[in-house]
Amino acid sequence: MKTDLLPVVENVSCCSDLPTALSSADAEAKAARFKALADPTRVQLLHLVAGAGRDEACVCDLTDTVKLSQPTVSHHLRILVDAGLLTRERRGTWAWYRVADAGQRVLKADLGF
């Protein structure tokens, strides 16, 4: 019989004991929030809408300020709305954007703002 003074304990890993991992759906949802702000233009847009006069801004002024084409700005705004950081409201010909609750939380979170 073999000696078992040093029984093998199935110690596959080296050392650290880790918590249960996030579900991949969970991790993806959280990453999606960050991804929405992982672009300088979108950071700029959130900043601009947050500081706008009546707490809202329309696309034309944002386009002028960020100096990108109108389709590009529209594209970024859509991403911010889809992420729940902005809301869109159509009044007449113009589309007005406001900071949503999740956006306010970002602005207060001391993560660069």
Partner DNA sequence: CCGCTATATTGATGTTTGTCAATACAGGAG
Partner DNA sequence: CTCCTGTATTGACAAACATCAATATAGCGG
Let me know: does 85 contact 103? Beta carbons within 8 Å.
Answer: yes
Q: Does 48 bind DNA (CB under 7 A)?
A: no
Q: How far apart are CA 27 and CA 93, in angstroms?
A: 39
14 binds DNA (CB under 7 A): yes
Give the residue carrying structure tokens 């991403």: 79
Answer with the entry of its own copies, DNA, none that 101 interacts with (C-beta below 5 to 8 A by kind).
none
The residue (of 3 and 24) whose beta carbon lies closer to its own copies is 24
With CB under 7 A as the contact rule, the residue among 22, 30, 47, 75 that binds DNA is 75
The DSSP bridge partners found for residue 86 are: 99
Encoded tokens for 2: 């073999």
Binding status of residue 92 toward DNA by CB under 7 A: yes
